[in-house]
Amino acid sequence: MTPVEKNWAGNITFGARRLSTPRSEAELRETVSAATAVHALGTRHSFNTVADTRGELVSLAGLPRRIEIDPKAGAVTVAAGLRFGEFAGVLHENGYALHNLGSLPHISVAGACATGTHGSGLGNSSIAGAVRALEMVTADGRTVSLGRGDADFPGAVVALGALGVVTALTLDLVPAFDVQQWVYEELPESRFTDGFDEVMAAAYSVSVFTDWRAGPLNQVWLKQRVGPEGPRSAPGEWLGARLADGPRHPIAGMPAENCTRQQGVAGPWHRRLPHFRPEFTPSSGDELQSEYFVARRDAAAAYEALARLRDRIAPLLQISEIRTVARDELWLSPASGRESVTFHFTWVPDTAAVTPVLGAIEEALAPFGARPHWGKVFTTAPESLRALYGKYADFERLTARFDPEGTFRNDFLVRHFRR
């Protein structure tokens, strides 16, 4: 079998027989209904086989561009294959914004929602939390619409492509706003562990970066909304950390020009909330990524558990990011039912070396009910995952009902979910 595609990082070779790019929804319905095995492929930013199939991969990149703003409802309906960088500017030009964005504007809205991808901020939910309705093509070629009032909706948003091919999403909007961004360096570890809530509440969106080596944490990125009083200045010292004297990249040695504007220069929300600019590739892709969600109340204890593994983590790490995510009620969202803190790891591209360290991390975080990000590398056993989600069995029943023949089931879904 000839490989169709690799993922962005190059660590996954998809097993599909072919990749199709329908140019209309009618063509998509025909493709899906004729297939015995099919799965949607987004922008290939997942690090595992969640988007793989032994049949046909379907890209939504060829479907018509769709950006429909409904001022009365305070919502926008967008084509699921659009990248955030392709429509966020349109929202801003019309006076609107999304509540938050992930680190990368390069990813598709459907892929982000299907795996529970998120930004940061107390009170800011994952991107999937803004979804109020979706449209998808099911295995029999029908187009199905679901909204917040539907019983199946909480199971259909973060659904890993298991129910159908999502073609459009309707997202909540807020009024457009500007953001200032500052980077502080060398935050004392004790100030972070003893004052976690103070650190993470210091701005609209806060990201803490560490290489897990002994000593202060490398960087803190503060993204602050500009209020009615206008832009403001930042102190040169904050909680023992110093204000960076120039733009920074989270990973030492990487070009800061790839990152969104810092040093307090105010700009539109979509040009500041991501870490990286859409016109630049954020990195070469030579990396692996993992991420784990724990309850925010356990943040300090979870950090200390990971710190005990620093001698194993640091040699394989490019950088680690700590963020907060508001709770939601979506069945498979890693933030479902609890305010969360996330520990993200960007590793060197060495699967054999990284895998045993993931096992040690998962063992250390097990007392805190750590849930892995669905689109990243993890080794958590299916039976352990089942115990971490109250609606796991409900989701399995939902997939059986929407896809009784298993058209969308792939090796990842077979491993993790029963029929």
Q: Given a cut of 90, is residue 419 above it in pLDDT? A: no
Q: What pLDDT is recorded for position 284?
A: 56
Mean pLDDT over residues 120-134, rounded?
93
Residue 334 CA to residue 111 CA, distance in Å, equals 15
Residue 191 CA to residue 197 CA, distance in Å, equals 10
**% pLDDT > 70, the chain:** 98
Domain assignment of residue 128, yes or no: yes
Domain assignment of residue 33, yes or no: no
Type of residue numbered 161: G
Q: Given a cut of 90, is residue 22 above it in pLDDT? A: yes
Residue 35 CA to residue 226 CA, distance in Å, equals 50
Where in the sequence is the domain holding 119, given as residue range(s)? Answer: 67-176
Domain assignment of residue 54, yes or no: no
Residue 247 CA to residue 116 CA, distance in Å, equals 29
Domain assignment of residue 29, yes or no: no
Q: Given a cut of 80, is residue 252 above it in pLDDT? A: yes
**% pLDDT > 90, the chain:** 95
pLDDT tens track for 67-123: 999 999 999 999 999 999 999 999 999 999 999 999 999 999 999 999 999 999 988
pLDDT tens track for 147-197: 999 999 999 999 999 999 999 999 999 999 999 999 999 999 999 999 999
CA-closest candidate to residue 127, choices 67, 68, 205: 205
Residue 383 CA to residue 417 CA, distance in Å, equals 9
Mean pLDDT over residues 384-401, rounded?
97
Partner residues linked to 208 by β-bridges: 220, 322
Mean pLDDT over residues 292-315, rounded?
98
How confident is the prediction for the chain on average, in pLDDT?
96
User: What is the SS3 assignment for 273?
Assistant: coil
Q: Which residue has 């609107």 as its token pair?
A: 96
Residue 54 backbone class (left: φ over 0; alpha: ψ -120 to 50; beta: rest): alpha
Q: Given 3-state DSSP classes, what are the helix, strand and coil percentages for the chain, each rounded to the nearest 5?
A: 25, 25, 45
pTM over cut 0.95 = yes
Q: For residues 90 and 188, is the Cβ–Cβ distance under 8 A? A: no
* CA distances from residue 362 to 66, 262, 299 in whole angstroms, order as listed: 41, 34, 15
Domain assignment of residue 16, yes or no: no
| CB within 8 Å of 92: residues ≥ 6 apart | 176, 268, 269, 270
Give the lowest-confidence range in 1-15, 215-229, 382-396: 1-15
Domain assignment of residue 62, yes or no: no
CATH number of the domain where residue 94 is located: 3.30.465.10
Partner residues linked to 172 by β-bridges: 75
Mean pLDDT over residues 363-371, rounded?
98
pLDDT tens track for 260-298: 999 999 999 999 999 999 988 766 578 999 999 999 999
Q: Given a cut of 70, is residue 304 above it in pLDDT? A: yes
Q: What pLDDT is recorded for position 283?
A: 61
Q: What pLDDT is recorded for position 281?
A: 72
Q: What pLDDT is recorded for position 1?
A: 39
Q: For residues 270 and 205, is the Cβ–Cβ distance under 8 A? A: no
- Label residue 3 by pLDDT band (50, 70, 90): low
Q: What is the DSSP letter of 388?
A: H
Domain assignment of residue 110, yes or no: yes
Note every long-range contact of 65-73, with CB atoms under 8 Å and residues 24 or more positions apart, other chains counting: 66/168, 67/91, 69/94, 69/96, 69/173
Q: Given a cut of 60, is residue 47 above it in pLDDT? A: yes
Q: What pLDDT is recorded for position 280?
A: 81
| Number of structural domains in the chain | 1
DSSP-derived secondary structure for 128-179: GGGEEEEEEE-TTS-EEEEETTSTTHHHHSS-TT-S-EEEEEEEE-EE--EE
Q: For residues 98 and 91, is the Cβ–Cβ distance under 8 A? A: yes
Q: What pLDDT is recorded for position 2?
A: 46
Neighbours of 125 (CB within 10 A): 24
pLDDT tens track for 136-151: 999 999 999 999 999 9
Domain assignment of residue 146, yes or no: yes
Residue 296 CA to residue 341 CA, distance in Å, equals 5
Residue 387 CA to residue 398 CA, distance in Å, equals 18
